[in-house]
Structure 1
Amino acid sequence: MTAPWRRAVLLLVTGCLVAAGTAGCGDAENEHNPPGANARVGPVLIRYAHIAEPPDGPWEPGGDAPFYLWLFNQGQRADRLIGAETTVARSVDIVRADGTARGPVDVPTGKLIELEEGHTHLLLRNLSRQIRGGDYVWITLRFERAGEIALQVHSQTPTYVEDATDAPGLTSPSPGG
C-alpha cells in the first residue's frame, strides 16, 4: 500500500474508532467485523488483536509467535502498555521490529498505535504448546492506568492459494529448479 493510501486508511480507521467507540464502523445493515479480538479496557480501545499467521505450519513448542494489535486511547490522560502474559508461552515480551526487547509502549490520547509486523509488537516467547492457525489462546494485557484485560485471541488461519500461476506476473516453477 502506498504511503498516501495508508495514511488515508489510518485516518478513516481512527475517525471510526473515535466516532463509534466500541461499536466499530458500520451500521445495522452493513456491520464491519474486523479480524482479531476487539475490546475496551477503561478508555483504551483494543482492535485487531491476533497471533500472526503461522508461516509454514503451526507455531511449535519452544518457538516464538508474533502477537499484533492496535490501540487507541479515548481518555483524557496518556497511558502505557506495560506488559502481557499468557499460559501458552514462557513470556510475552514487547519487542522492536527486529525482535529485540524494549520497554513499555506509550498510548497517548487520540492517536492510533499499531503494534504490528515491521514495527514494535508483542512476542509470545518459548511456546509451551503447538498453536495452529485457527486456534484461540488467552492473553492478558496490562496497562499502567486502564488496568488489565484478558482477551481470547485467534491465531490467524493461513491463506492458501491452490493455483496462483494464472495471476499476472506469476509463473510456474521450472522443473528441476
Structure 2
Amino acid sequence: MVWGATGCGTNGNDYNPPGANARVGPVLIRYAHIAEPPDGPWQSGDDAPLYLWLFNQGERPDRLLGAETEIARSVDVVDADGTARGPVELPTGKLVELEKGRTHLVLNDLRQRVRGGDFVWVTLRFERAGEIALQVQSQIPTYVDDDVTGVPGLTSPSPGG
C-alpha cells in the first residue's frame, strides 16, 4: 500500500490545484475531493459524491476497481445518473475525469457528519498500480448567504453558522 497526502509547495511559482494529489505506480491522481455540501454539512446517512481526475502514464492500461473509507458504509463507482457500475478503464496517456455529470465515486451512508473543510481517509484500488490511501478534503462551501451572516459577501458554511 502507498500512502498519499496533500500539501503546498514552497516555491511561490508552484501551482497546487485544490484537492488531494498523489501518484500510485504510473497513475496520477488529481483534484480528489468530496463534493461541496449542498446546504450545510453532510449528515450521517447521507451519500456524498467524491470527484477526482486520473491519468495513466504507464505503458499498459489499468482500471480503478473501487475505493473504501471508514466514514461510509460503502463506496460505489456510479454513472452520471447515480447507477452503480463496474471498474473505470484507465487507458494509457488519457485523462479520465470522475466528476459531476460523469462517472464518479459516491460515499454511501456516511457514518458521521462531514463539514466543508473536513479531511477523511479514502483508499483507492487499482488493478495494476495497487492501492493508495489519501487524505481527501470535503470541499469548503463557496456560496454566500448575506441573510445568514448579516455581513455582505461573508461566506457561511451552513445556515445559522
How many aligned residue pairs are there? 139
For 2:28, the equivalent position in structure 1 comes to: 45
* Residue 140, structure 1, aligned to residue 123, structure 2: yes
1:119 to 97, 102, 112: 102
2:135 to 132, 143, 152: 152
1:69 to 24, 43, 52: 52
Between the aligned partners of 2:100 and 2:36, the Cα distance in structure 1 is 11
Root mean square deviation, CA, Å: 1.7
2:71 to 88, 97, 122: 88
Deviation digits for residues 90-144 of structure 1 (CA, Å, limit 9, x no counterpart): 0010000111100000000000000000000000000000000000000000000
Structure 1 residue ranges without an equivalent (≥5):
1-25, 164-177
SS at match of 2:84: coil
For 1:128, the equivalent position in structure 2 comes to: 111
Between the aligned partners of 1:99 and 1:72, the Cα distance in structure 2 is 23
If asked which structure has higher relative contact order (CA below 8 Å, sep 6+), I would say: 2
TM-superposed CA distance for 1:161, in Å, is 2.4
Between the aligned partners of 2:122 and 2:46, the Cα distance in structure 1 is 17
Structure having the higher strand fraction is 2
Structure 2 residue ranges without an equivalent (≥5):
1-8, 147-161
Between the aligned partners of 1:63 and 1:160, the Cα distance in structure 2 is 20
Write the letter of the residue equivalent to 2:98: L
TM-superposed CA distance for 1:29, in Å, is 4.5
Between the aligned partners of 1:48 and 1:42, the Cα distance in structure 2 is 18
Q: TM-score, normalised by structure 2?
A: 0.83
Between the aligned partners of 2:144 and 2:43, the Cα distance in structure 1 is 23
SS at match of 1:34: coil
Flag the 1:162–1:59 CA change in 2: closer, same or farther, 3 A: closer
For 2:38, the equivalent position in structure 1 comes to: 55
TM-superposed CA distance for 1:33, in Å, is 1.1
Structure 1 residue runs of 4 or more that deviate by more than 4 Å after TM superposition: none
TM-superposed CA distance for 1:160, in Å, is 2.8
Between the aligned partners of 2:72 and 2:139, the Cα distance in structure 1 is 17
1:161 to 111, 130, 144: 144
Q: Kindly, what percent of the aligned residue pairs are identical? A: 77
